[in-house]
Amino acid sequence: MNHFRILPALALLVAIQPTSAQEGPIDPDRAANTIILDEAGVKNLNIETEMVEERDFETTVFAVGRIEELPESRAVLSSRIAGRIVDLKVFLGDTVKKGEVLAKVESRQPGSPPPVIDLISPIDGVVVESHARLGEPVEPNQVVLDISERSRMWAVAKIPENEANSIGPGTKARIHIPSLGDELILAEFAKYGVEADREAGTVDGIFILDNPEGRMQPGMRAEFSIVTDKRELVMAVPREAVQGDPTKRVIFVEDFDLPNAYVKVPVVLGEKNDRYYEVIEGLFPGDEVVTHGSYSLSFSSGGGGPSLKEALDAAHGHEHAEDGSELTEADKKAAAAGEDGHDHAEGAHGPAGVLDLIIRVWAAIATILLLVCFQSLLRKRNGERDSATQTKSATA
């Protein structure tokens, strides 16, 4: 048997044997998209995170509108007699109580002194208009003060006509009034207005809001997220976590291994509402995504923190290569050779080198024995076939 025919196969097998147990290089996408901050950077960006989880996801209709008075909440103060105002106790913007004396009118009837009557507030509320001044003549048909009771207000949404069929009494909405800050007010749909806006293509949807502190005022802008449907167990993230342009959305995820490190992850998104984006691909439940500070991270390059190699060294307690992979024995020996000025042959020293040599020798011997047995079996079968052929020829 020609043993030289097995040498190429033997050489290939020896070449692919592992030299040592090692961890391969980290995902290059992770390395390229990881931003590592120092403690000051985290504080300056005010980084906040939220865990990804499956939640009830609401389909919403967005609308804008205004705060208005309830029609029945307006009252006026007037005099039953002709005369002049001799005492005016309240002015524009003052809060009044039902039964409180707001002004006094001196009658034109003769007398010494002339008769004086009290003008009493018919409701609790706020003086929103004043039509008289001290000493001014008044007539019975003249309005002295306008009073508005504002413990409840209307929030009137301009709902697109094509969405109106999905909204009815009892439909919930979250209402944001910018003048009052970031507070969201939960309210129920009460009724539609009496006339549609032909030019805007909208109908008025009326929600009734409690206003115990009187902070809402007529004319304030209101933004409505009206809930028209709900799905269960949808993986979603806060809207502020999503960055990038519409064709390439990304989310920053807190690194599972390194402190103060955030990985930019491309995602595929689905439906959105006023608070959340549905996530179809790219994230897993339990991921910690950056919410507050995500926009600032999208403009950060290095982050001001340690390099990926330095962060991994600190986290794992041993040295890594520049790409974040574990150093091989060859890498370590090459580094040692560079430090002490001597050239060390690979695998020539230490337990790892001896083990590597034993593995290579064992693989070579096993391969040779396997090929020898295979060729012996093949030659035996060829000999049996030749004998059978000769016997058949002799018989013939």
Q: Residue range 246-254: average pLDDT?
A: 94
CA 122 to CA 99: how far, in whole Å? 6
Sign, CA torsion 110/115/121/126: positive
Q: Residue range 185-209: average pLDDT?
A: 95
8-state DSSP, 391: H
Domains plus CATH for the chain?
A: 1-22+328-388 (no CATH), 28-58+232-308 (2.40.420.20), 61-69+151-231 (2.40.30.170), 80-141 (2.40.50.100)
Mean per-residue pLDDT over the chain, rounded: 83
Q: What are the start-end ranges of the H helices in 147-227?
A: none
Angle at the Cα of 197 from the Cα atoms of 195 and 201, rounded to 5 degrees: 125
| Omega prior to 113 cis, within 30 of 0 | yes
The whole-model pTM stands at: 0.63
Q: Is 125 exposed, middle or buried (0-12, 13-18, 19+ CB in 10 A)?
A: buried
Structure tokens at 270: 């689905």
Q: Residue range 251-260: average pLDDT?
A: 90
8-state DSSP, 213: T
Q: What is the predicted pLDDT for the residue at 141?
A: 92
CA 353 to CA 309: how far, in whole Å? 26
pLDDT at 257 over 60: yes
Q: Residue range 183-189: average pLDDT?
A: 95
Higher pLDDT, 42 or 384: 42
pLDDT tens digits, residue range 79-103? Answer: 999 999 999 999 999 999 999 999 9
Q: What is the predicted pLDDT for the residue at 347?
A: 45
pLDDT > 70 in the chain, percent: 76
CA 324 to CA 336: how far, in whole Å? 19
